Structure 1
Amino acid sequence: MKIDSRVWLGGIVALTLLYALGTLTGDGGLSLTERLGNWPTTIAAGAAAVSLFYSARTRAASAADGEANADGADGAAALRFLGFAALAWFAGSLTYAVTGLLSANAAVTLTFGDLFMLFALPLFVLGFMRFAPLPRGVRPAVRHFTDCYVCAAAVFSVVWLLLFAPLYSELGEGAGFLAFALVYPVADIVVLCLLAPLVATSPHSTRRAVLLAIGAFVIICGADLIGAVSRLTGVAPAGGIEYPVRLLGFALLGSLPWLIRDRAGAQPRRITGRGLYRFAPEIAAAGALAVAAVVLTIGGLRLEGVAPVLPLAAGSAVVVLLVRVSGVLEENATLSRMVLTRERHFHELAHNSGDVILILDFDARIFYVSPGAAEAFGYRLDDVLAEPVTAIVHPEDLPQIRAAMSDFGRGAGQGIHLRVRVRSGDGTWRHTESTASLYEQPGEPDRLLVTTRDISAQVALEDQVNHLTFHDGITGLPNRAYLEERAREVLARREHIGGAHEVAAIFLDLDGFTAVNDSAGHTFGDYLLAQAARRLRATTDSGVTLARWGGDEFAVLIEESAHAQQVVDLAERLARVISAEPFQVADREVVLTASAGVAFAERGIDSGELLRNADMAMARAKEQGGGGRLEIYAADMHAQVVSRLELQTELRQALANGDFLLEYQPVVDLESSQVTAVEALVRWRRGGELVMPDVFIGPAEQSGLIVPLGEWILREACAKVALWRASDWDIALSVNLSVKQVLQPRFVETVAGVLAESGLPAGVLTMEVDEEVLLENPGEAVERLSELRRLGVRLAIDDFGMGYASLAHLRQLRVDAIKIDPSFIRDLGTDGTVTLLTHTIIRLGQDLGMQVIAEGIERAEQLEQLRSMGCGYGQGFLVARPMVAGGVEALVGGEAEIAL
C-alpha cells in the first residue's frame, strides 16, 4: 500500500516526540532517555543503513534514475554512499552504547566510536554530491570551495562566540581538551557549508532528495552540537535531548528513499538573469560573513579577552575573502569585456550579414533591426521601427506569426522556422524564410530574435522547375505527368462527392506529321506543333485540361460535361480546327488532319485505364485510315488488343516450330512473256489453314519478330533461287524489307553473309522497300540502303506513287526499279486521271533508267494498256499466281515462258 509522504513525515515526528517525552520523566535523577542511551539511535542508524542499501539496489536494478542521470546525478550511487554513512553512524553509535554499558563515566576523549562517526561525514558528502554534483571546471570549483570556507569560518566564529567561548572561560580547560571537544562542531560546520550551496544548483529531478538529505544532516549536526556541549559540561542538556534529535535525523535519513518515490523534484525555473539563486554560494558566504561581523563586533565590546582560535579563524577568513574578491573583480572585468566584444560582434554581424536581423517584443513591435533591412526590402530605418512587423506581413501568413508568438508565450524554448511573404518598399511581395528564437538579456524583458532571409529568387526558381516538370517546353501545354495526376484527382473527387456529370478523355494524333518532321527537320516540326497547340487551346474552354501527350499526340481531359454528345462534339471541333486551314511555317504551307479517340470514365475506372482507352480509340481511328476520323472507345477494342498480343505469341512459337513457308510469284517480261524473276512471299501454316501476310505482318512488326522472320525468308529464298540458277535457269529474286530490318545495326552484314552462304550473286537479288522505310529515321535508312547497293544488291521502291513525296525519295536514294502500286493498275482504262498518272510514272522510270514493274495485273485490257505505254515488266493473277517452289519448278521445267 502506498503511503503519502506527509503521513510518513508525520509518523517520524510523532515517534520522535514520544521518545523526547522520555526526557521529562526520570528515576533517581536520570530520565528515561538517558537510561536508554544510544540504543534507540543505534537501531535507527542501522535501520537507515538497511533502508538506503535496499533502495540503492532496487533503483539500480530498475534503472529508475534516467531523468536524474541525464542531469548529472546518480541516484543509486547516492543512496549507496548515504547507506555507508548511515552504517558508519550505526557503528559509532553501537560503540558508544557498548562502552556506555561497560563504563558509565567514560572520559571526554576521541574513541573508536568518534572515528566511526567522523568517517561517516565524508561518506555522506560523497552520497550528497551524487544527488547534487559540484560545479564543473577548475575555476567554478575553486570559487565554490573558497566561498564555503568563508561561510564556515563565519559560522564557526558565531558559534564560538555565542556558545563555546563562555564554556571555555568557565571551564578554564587547556587548548588540547578544547580541540577534542570541537571536532564534531567544526567538521559539521565545514560539511554543512560545503553542501548547503549545492541545494540551489542541484538538478530539479533530485531537488526533493537533496532537501530531505540536507534536512536530516542539519538535525544530526544539531545533535552533534548538543553532544559537544554535554562533553564540555559533563551534563546532558534538557534530560538527554541529544538522543531524540539524533533519532529524528537518522529516521529522516532512512526514510529518504521512500519519501521521494511518489513525487518528482520541482520543475526547473526558467533562467531570466534576475534569479538570486544563481549566486547561492556568494549569497551564503556574504550573509554568514555579515552575521559574523555583527556578532563579533557585539561580542568584542562585551568580552574582555578572546581565545587565540578566534583571530586565527577571522584572519584567515579575511585573507581568503580578499583573494575571493580579487578573483570576482577579475572575473567581472573579463565578463564585461566579453559582453562588449560580443555586442560589437553582434552589431558587425548584423550590419554585414545578408540576412535581416530583428529583435521583437511579444506585441510584434520592433526593438532592433539590422541596417541591412533598408537595403534588403527598400525601407528607411525609421519607417521600419514605426510600426509592428505584422503591418508588412501578408494577411494570409499572419496566422503563422500569431501561432509562433503564442508558442513562445507558453514557454517554447526551441527555435521556430517560418516562411512568410513580406511587402517590400516598392509594394511587391517578397518570399522570406525566418528563424525565431527566444532572446534573453539579464534585467530586460524577454524578446524574440528573428533572422530573415529573402528567398524570392529561390521560390521563383522552384516555380520554374515545377512548371518545367509538368509542362511541355515546345507547346507550353501541360505534359503527360500533369495530365495523369489531374485525371487521378478528378476521378477521386467524383468518387468522393458523386455527381452525374461525364468525365472523359480525348486523344488526337496529327496524321502525316512524322513525314513532315522527318523531311523538313525537327525545328520545322516543333514550330508546327506549337501552332497546332495554339489552335487547340483556342477551341477549349473552362473545365477542360489540354495537354501534349508526347510526339504529335495531344490529350484533352473533360472534367465535367452535362452530356456525352458534348464531348463528341468537342472532339470533332478539335479535329476540324487542325484541318481547317493549312499551317504556315516559314515560306511553306502544310495541310494536316487529326485522328481522334474518345473514352468515357465509367464508375470505378481509374485514371490510367481512362487514358489508355482513349489512346486505344485513337489508334483504332488511325488504323481505319485516319484523315480526321473519330472513334469512340468500345470494349471490343480491348479485346482486339488482347487478341493481337496473343497472335504475337503464336507467331513467335510458329517461327520456332518452322510453321512458315514461302510462295513465289513470277515477274514476267511483258514483251516476251518470259519469267525473269520471282518475288518471295511468306505464308503461315496455322493448323490446317494457310494464313496470308496481311494478317500477321503487322503484329510481327510491332513485336519485333519481323527481324528474325525476315532473315529466315531471305535465307530460304536465296538458297532456293541459287539452286534453280545452278540448273541453268537465269532467274532473279525479289524480297521485301521492313523498316525494323533496315534499321538493325548489322543488317548489311547479315545480307552479305546470306549471299555468301547460298552462293547467290548479289546482282541477282532485289530488295524491295516501301516509302515508310525512308520516313522513319531517313538519314540512317538511306545510309544502310546505300551500303546495300554498294554490296551489289539491287534496290526497288514498292507501291510507288502512294507515299509522301515519292520524287523526293528518288532524289535521296538511287534505286534500280520502281513497282507501280496495284491501285493504279486497278483503275487503268476506267479513270482517265489514273491512266495519265500511270503513263507518267512509266515514262519517269524509263527516263531515269529504271526498271518499271506493274503490280496487280488481273485483266487482259490492263495488260494491253501497259504494253502500249511501254511498261517492261509485270506481275499479278493474270500473269501467274503465287505458288510453292514445286509449282515454279514445274513451270520452269516446261518453258520459262507464260502465254499472255
Structure 2
Amino acid sequence: MTSHPAGRDDADAAPSPETTAPDVPASEAPAPDTEPPGTAEADAVVSDAAESGHAATAAQTVAQTATQTATETAAETRDTGAIRVDGRRNPRGSLTAAAGLGAVGLAAALIGGGSSSVIAAVAGVAAGLLAAFSLFLAALRSQPGQRPRPAAWRWLAVGTLTWLVGIGLRPAADGTPFVLTFADLLLLVGSVLMAIGCGVAVTPSAYSRGAVRQAADAYLGAASIFTVGWVLLLGPAFQKAEEPGAFFSTLALPIVCLFAACAVAPAVAAARSGGRVVGLAGVIVLGAITVAEVSTALARLSGDDPPLATVLIAPAAFLVLAVAPWLDQRRLRRPLPIALTAATPLVLVAVATVAVAVQAISGNRDAALSAIAASVVLVLLGRLFVLLVETAGMRRLVDVGERQLRQLAENTGDLVLVCDHDGVIREIGAAVQETYGYCPDDLAGRPMFDYIHPEDVPGIQALLRRMAAEEVGPEGPGTCRIACRVRAADGTWRPTESVATRDVRNEDQILVSVRDMSDQVALRNQVTHLTFHDGVTGLPNRAYFEERAREVLARRGSGRTAVIFLDLDGFTGVNDSVGHASGDYLLGQAARRLRSAVRADDTLARWGGDEFAVLLEGGVSTGSDAQTAIDLAERLVRAVSSEPFRVADRDMALTASVGVAFAEDGLSAGDLLRNADVAMSRAKELGGRRVEVFAAHMHADVVRRLEIAADLQRALLDNQFAIEYQPVVDLATSRVTAVEALVRWWRGSTFVPPEQFLGPAEDTGLIVPLSEWILREACNEVAAWRASSLDIGLSLNLSLRQITAPRFVETVSQALAESGLPASALTLEVIEEMLVEDAEDTINKLSQLRALGVRLAIDDFGTGYASLAFLRQLPVDMIKIDPSFVSGLGRDETLTLLTRTIVRLGHDLGLIVVAEGIERPEQLELLREMGCTRGQGYLVGRPMAARGVDSLMRTSLQNTA
C-alpha cells in the first residue's frame, strides 16, 4: 500500500504509469491484492479506546484512523485502477481533506467532553458528509451503462444527506415532549432512500425471484432477528418501560432499517460484480444504524447516554460507504449460492424458534412475542403455499418440455439415444428403424460399438472416457462432437455426425444425437467430382490435371515424367457443320478412344475445347523407356484418325496433332505443361496428324511469334508492308499472263519472312485488315497496267479468317469497283484445308464471288485428301500443282507420273493448270511436254516490285510481237 506526504498537490504532479489509468472503467479495473483498509481497524481501535474509558485517546485514534483510511484508500484506488472516467485522477486529495476535517471536528467534540449523543452527531455528520461527497462525485464520474448505475450513487447520496441532517438535529431534539421527533422522521426517510439505492445498485437479474417471495423472505428475516433481539434485550427493557407507546416509537427507526436491510440483502448477495460492493456497503450501513438505534433506545429507557462504541458504529459504516465507490468492483466476482440465500431466512426462523421455545420453557410469556410468532407462522404458510403453486407450475412445464422433447426426438430426422459411459445403449428413438432399419427394442442393452466402424471405435471410446472424467471438451463441459461410420441393417456404412452430452437427469448416462450424413456426403462427393471432372467426356478436367501434375513432380522430383497434349484437327468444322451438341457427342467418342489407348496408371484429362492431355504417372526413364511416351503419342494419333467418327448420321474424319514434353530438373509443373502445349502447336503448324517432341527452340519460336504479333498492329499503322509480284507465264509462249501478289514486311531494316508473320497474323485476326489492304493495292496496280494496254491478270491467296469475315464478298466487290479491275482478271486462290473447315459457308461465299465473274483456283493441288471431291462442289477455273510434285520432275518417277496425271486431269476437266516452283530447265521442258498450260517459279520469274513487273511485261510483249 502506498502513502503520500501531506499537502502534496496532485494536480501539479506529473502522471506516471502508476497514477494514470485513462479510459479504464471500474468494472474492468484489475483486482487489488489486498482488501480495502480502514473499516475493521477503525472499529477495533474505537472499541478498545472506549472500553478503556479514555475519551481523548479515542478521539485522537479515530482522527488518525479516518485520515489514514481515506489517504490509503485513494492510494490503493490509484494502484488498483478503480473508478476513473475520461482519464481524470481519483479525488483522493478532496476525500483526504474531508476526512481530516471530520476527524478534527470529532476530536474536538470528544476532547470537549460532550455527551455521546453530541459525539454521535458530530461523527455522523462528518462521516455522512464524506460519504455523500464521495457518492455524488462517483455519480458525476460514472458513464452511461456502467455498473453500478449512476442512479444508485444518487439515491445513496441523497439518503446519506437526509440521514446526516437528521442525526445533526437529534441533539437539539433531546428533552422535547415529542416521542417521535422531526429528526427521527429524517432518519427514517434517509434509511429508506439508502435502501432504495442499494436495490438500484444491483443488476435486475438479482431480482429473479418473485416479489411475494422476496417480501416474505425479508419479513421472515427481519422478524426472526427482531424476535431474538426481543428475547435477549428488548423484552426485558419493555417490561421496565413506563410508556409502551414511547418505547415502540423509539424502535421505529431500527425496525425500518432492519426490514430495509433484510429486503435488499438477498438481492445484494445474488448480485454479480459491478454493484455488489456498493450494495454490501449500503446493507452494512443499514445494519449499523439498526444496532446504533437499538443501543440509543435502550439508553433512553435507562436515562443514560449510549455507549460510545455503539454510537460510533454508524459513522464507521458511513466511512465504509464513502470508500465503496473507489474500490475495485470486481473483487466479489461470484454471487453467493442460491441455496444459501434461500435458506438464510429459514435458518433465522429456526434460531428465533429456539429462542421463543427457551423463553416459553422458562415460563416467561409475552403477548408481543406471541403476535410476532403468529405472523411468522402465517408468512411461512403463505410462502409454502406460493412455493407449492410454483412447484406445480414448474412440474407442468417440465412435463410439457419432456413431451415436446420426446415428440421432437421421434419426429426429427436425427436419431436420439441414451447410453452409459461404456457405450451400452439404454434408450433409443424410433427413428433408428426408419433411418438404419433396426428395431429399437433389439438395440436396447447392446453396445453401440457393435454398429460402429472398427476404425472409428478407439476414438469414440476415448471421447467417452474423457466425458466420464468430466474433462472439458472444445464444445463446453460434458459435450463433444463425434464423426463416425454406422452400419445399417442392409450392411452399408453410413457416415454420421453426432453430439454427445452428459444427461442432466443422470450424469452416469450420455445423451447422443446422431445425424445421418449420407446425403450430404454424396452431394459433397458429387460437387467434388463436378469440380474436377468434365461434364461432356467424364474425364478429369484441367484443374485436376494441373494439381495431379504438381503432385507427381513433387513426389518423384523431375525423373522422366512425361506429358502429352493432343488437339483434334478439323474439330471446328464439326461444330460449325452439325452443331455444338453433335460436337460434344464427338468429343465423348474421342475420349473413349483415347482412354482405351492410355495405360491404366496414366491420367487422361480434357484440357479444354478439343484438346486432351495425358500425364504418364508410371514415369519414363532415359533411353528406350522415353520412347514409350512417343509410342503412346503415336497410338493416340492412330486412335483418332483410324476411322471416322459417326455424328448426326454422318462420318467425320479427324486427325490429331500431338506434342510431348519431358520433365527436367528444376522444371515446374506449369512449365512442363506449357512445353507440351508448345510442342502440340508446332505439330499443328506442320500440318497436323503428327507427333512433335518439345525442344528448347520451340519456346523461343513461340516467344518470337508473340513479339511479331505485337508488332503487326504497329506495322499496319506505319505502312511497313509492301507488295511484290511474281509473274505467271504461258509455258508455250513465255508471255506473262498474270502476277501473284505477295506481301513483304520490312521491320526497320530487317526483312521478316512471310512464314514468320503470316501465322501470327492469322492467329490474332490481323490477317483480315492486312489482306484487305493487299487486295486494294494490287487491284489498283493491275488495273493501271491493264489501262496501259497490258493484258494481265491478278492472283491473290486467301486466308480462312478472311473468307469467314462478315463482309468478305462485299469487300472484294468494292475493291474491284474502286480500282476498275474486271472481275474476270482477278483469281482468288484457296487451299484444300480451307474447304474442309466450315465447308458449307466457305463454298457458299466463293460461289457468290464466282457468280460475280471472279476466277477461283485451288492452290497446292494434290496434297490433300479431298481435292477431287471439292472439284465437283466448287466451280473452279484453275488448279495449281504443289511445288512438292514439281521438285521431283526428272528425278522421281512417281512424282513425275503424279504430275502428268494432274495435268491430264486438268485438261479433261477444262481447267487451267499452273505448275508452281519451277526452278530447273528440265522441269520446264517436262511440263511443256506434258502440256501444262502455265507456270511460275524462280526460273521463269522471281517476285519483284511493280516497276520490275512493268518492264518485264513490256519486254515480253515486244518479244512476242
**TM-score, normalisation: structure 1:** 0.82
- Name the SS of the counterpart of 1:740 in structure 2: helix
**1:771 and 2:841 are equivalent in the alignment:** no
> CA 1:54/1:794 → structure 2, altered by over 3 Å: closer, same or farther?
same
> CA 1:49/1:515 → structure 2, altered by over 3 Å: closer, same or farther?
closer
Show the counterpart of 2:660.
Answer: 597
Q: Using the alignment, how far apart are the partners of 1:688 and 1:135 within structure 2?
A: 93
Q: Using the alignment, how far apart are the partners of 2:924 and 2:194 within structure 1?
A: 128
1:12 to 10, 17, 39: 39
Q: Using the alignment, how far apart are the partners of 2:594 and 2:618 within structure 1?
A: 24
- Name the SS of the counterpart of 2:540 in structure 1: coil
**1:643 and 2:743 are equivalent in the alignment:** no
- Name the SS of the counterpart of 2:769 in structure 1: helix
**1:145 and 2:219 are equivalent in the alignment:** no
1:568 to 617, 626, 636: 626
- Name the SS of the counterpart of 1:774 in structure 2: helix
* CA positional deviation for 1:707: 1.7
Q: Does the Cα contact within 8 Å between 2:134 and 2:322 map onto a contact in 1?
A: yes
1:181 to 237, 246, 250: 250
Q: What amino acid maps onto 1:575 in structure 2? A: A
Provide the aligned C-alpha RMSD in A. 4.3
* CA positional deviation for 1:285: 5.2
Q: What amino acid maps onto 2:46 in structure 1? A: Y
* CA positional deviation for 1:887: 3.1
* CA positional deviation for 1:580: 6.9
Q: Using the alignment, how far apart are the partners of 2:890 and 2:54 within structure 1?
A: 159
- Name the SS of the counterpart of 1:766 in structure 2: strand
Structure 1 stretch displaced more, 16-25 or 287-296: 287-296
Q: Does the Cα contact within 8 Å between 1:762 and 1:792 map onto a contact in 2?
A: yes
1:24 to 15, 29, 51: 51
Q: Using the alignment, how far apart are the partners of 1:579 and 1:863 within structure 2?
A: 39
> CA 1:426/1:103 → structure 2, altered by over 3 Å: closer, same or farther?
closer
**1:347 and 2:406 are equivalent in the alignment:** yes
Q: What amino acid maps onto 1:399 in structure 2? A: G
Show the counterpart of 1:272.
Answer: none
Structure 1 stretch displaced more, 749-758 or 254-263: 254-263
* CA positional deviation for 1:716: 0.9
Q: Using the alignment, how far apart are the partners of 2:875 and 2:219 within structure 1?
A: 113
Alignment of 1:786-825 (within 5 A): 786-789=847-850, 792-810=853-871, 813-825=874-886
Alignment of 1:682-697 (within 5 A): 682-688=743-749, 691-697=752-758
* CA positional deviation for 1:359: 3.9
* CA positional deviation for 1:427: 3.2
- Name the SS of the counterpart of 2:367 in structure 1: coil
The Cα offsets for residues 860-879 of structure 1, whole Å up to 9 and x where unpaired, read as 55445445545444333344
- Name the SS of the counterpart of 1:24 in structure 2: helix
> CA 1:409/1:812 → structure 2, altered by over 3 Å: closer, same or farther?
farther
The Cα offsets for residues 730-761 of structure 1, whole Å up to 9 and x where unpaired, read as 44322111122222233333333333333434
Q: Using the alignment, how far apart are the partners of 1:565 and 1:228 within structure 2?
A: 118
* CA positional deviation for 1:709: 0.9
Q: What amino acid maps onto 1:379 in structure 2? A: Y
Show the counterpart of 1:479.
Answer: 541
Q: Percent identity?
A: 42
> CA 1:849/1:213 → structure 2, altered by over 3 Å: closer, same or farther?
farther
- Name the SS of the counterpart of 2:514 in structure 1: strand
> CA 1:649/1:25 → structure 2, altered by over 3 Å: closer, same or farther?
closer
Q: Using the alignment, how far apart are the partners of 2:320 and 2:522 within structure 1?
A: 70
> CA 1:41/1:6 → structure 2, altered by over 3 Å: closer, same or farther?
farther
Show the counterpart of 1:756.
Answer: 817
- Name the SS of the counterpart of 1:528 in structure 2: helix
**1:227 and 2:296 are equivalent in the alignment:** yes
Alignment of 1:204-603 (within 5 A): 210-211=279-280, 213-236=282-305, 239-257=307-325, 260=328, 263-266=331-334, 276-277=339-340, 280-281=341-342, 283-284=343-344, 302=363, 306=367, 311=371, 327-397=386-456, 399=459, 402=462, 406=466, 409-410=471-472, 413=476, 418-436=482-500, 439-441=503-505, 444-445=506-507, 448-473=510-535, 476-489=538-551, 502=559, 504-509=561-566, 512=569, 514=571, 522=583, 523-538=585-600, 541=601, 545-551=603-609, 553-557=611-615, 563-565=621-623, 568-578=626-636, 583=642, 595-603=658-666
Show the counterpart of 1:833.
Answer: 894
Q: Using the alignment, how far apart are the partners of 2:243 and 2:850 within structure 1?
A: 137
Q: Using the alignment, how far apart are the partners of 1:840 and 1:401 within structure 2?
A: 89
Q: Using the alignment, how far apart are the partners of 1:254 and 1:824 within structure 2?
A: 118
Q: Using the alignment, how far apart are the partners of 1:844 and 1:525 within structure 2?
A: 38
* CA positional deviation for 1:712: 0.5
Q: Does the Cα contact within 8 Å between 1:537 and 1:546 map onto a contact in 2?
A: no
The Cα offsets for residues 358-401 of structure 1, whole Å up to 9 and x where unpaired, read as 34545544443221022212323244333444554445545377
**TM-score, normalisation: structure 2:** 0.78
Q: Using the alignment, how far apart are the partners of 1:586 and 1:684 within structure 2?
A: 42
Q: Using the alignment, how far apart are the partners of 1:800 and 1:370 within structure 2?
A: 83
- Name the SS of the counterpart of 1:386 in structure 2: coil
**1:723 and 2:789 are equivalent in the alignment:** no
Q: Does the Cα contact within 8 Å between 2:828 and 2:854 map onto a contact in 1?
A: yes
Q: Using the alignment, how far apart are the partners of 1:677 and 1:725 within structure 2?
A: 11
* CA positional deviation for 1:714: 0.9
Show the counterpart of 1:712.
Answer: 773
Q: What amino acid maps onto 2:702 in structure 1? A: V
Q: Using the alignment, how far apart are the partners of 2:596 and 2:612 within structure 1?
A: 12
**1:114 and 2:177 are equivalent in the alignment:** no
The Cα offsets for residues 199-224 of structure 1, whole Å up to 9 and x where unpaired, read as 44322565566555534543333223
Q: What amino acid maps onto 2:148 in structure 1? A: D
Alignment length, in residue pairs? 861
* CA positional deviation for 1:656: 1.7
- Name the SS of the counterpart of 2:944 in structure 1: coil
- Name the SS of the counterpart of 1:253 in structure 2: helix
Q: Does the Cα contact within 8 Å between 2:192 and 2:257 map onto a contact in 1?
A: no
Q: Using the alignment, how far apart are the partners of 2:256 and 2:390 within structure 1?
A: 31
- Name the SS of the counterpart of 1:741 in structure 2: helix
Q: What amino acid maps onto 2:218 in structure 1? A: C
Q: What amino acid maps onto 2:405 in structure 1? A: F
* CA positional deviation for 1:134: 4.4
Show the counterpart of 2:28.
Answer: none
Q: Using the alignment, how far apart are the partners of 2:687 and 2:247 within structure 1?
A: 126
The Cα offsets for residues 126-181 of structure 1, whole Å up to 9 and x where unpaired, read as 33224433458998345433543455456556655665454344324153x24521
Q: Using the alignment, how far apart are the partners of 1:440 and 1:790 within structure 2?
A: 95
Q: Does the Cα contact within 8 Å between 2:657 and 2:684 map onto a contact in 1?
A: no
**1:43 and 2:102 are equivalent in the alignment:** no
> CA 1:245/1:864 → structure 2, altered by over 3 Å: closer, same or farther?
same
Q: What amino acid maps onto 2:44 in structure 1? A: L
Q: Does the Cα contact within 8 Å between 2:206 and 2:271 map onto a contact in 1?
A: no
Q: Using the alignment, how far apart are the partners of 2:358 and 2:953 within structure 1?
A: 152
> CA 1:812/1:681 → structure 2, altered by over 3 Å: closer, same or farther?
same
Structure 1: 5+ residue stretches without partners: 270-274
Q: Does the Cα contact within 8 Å between 1:511 and 1:627 map onto a contact in 2?
A: no
Q: Using the alignment, how far apart are the partners of 2:203 and 2:750 within structure 1?
A: 99
* CA positional deviation for 1:241: 3.7
* CA positional deviation for 1:346: 1.6
Q: What amino acid maps onto 2:660 in structure 1? A: G
Q: What amino acid maps onto 1:253 in structure 2? A: L
Q: What amino acid maps onto 1:19 in structure 2? A: V
Q: Does the Cα contact within 8 Å between 2:675 and 2:694 map onto a contact in 1?
A: no
**1:612 and 2:682 are equivalent in the alignment:** no
Q: Does the Cα contact within 8 Å between 1:184 and 1:228 map onto a contact in 2?
A: no
Q: Using the alignment, how far apart are the partners of 1:355 and 1:143 within structure 2?
A: 42
Q: Does the Cα contact within 8 Å between 1:420 and 1:433 map onto a contact in 2?
A: yes
Q: Using the alignment, how far apart are the partners of 1:363 and 1:219 within structure 2?
A: 58
* CA positional deviation for 1:84: 4.4
**1:856 and 2:930 are equivalent in the alignment:** no
Alignment of 1:191-210 (within 5 A): 191-203=260-272, 210=279
- Name the SS of the counterpart of 1:242 in structure 2: helix
> CA 1:34/1:525 → structure 2, altered by over 3 Å: closer, same or farther?
closer
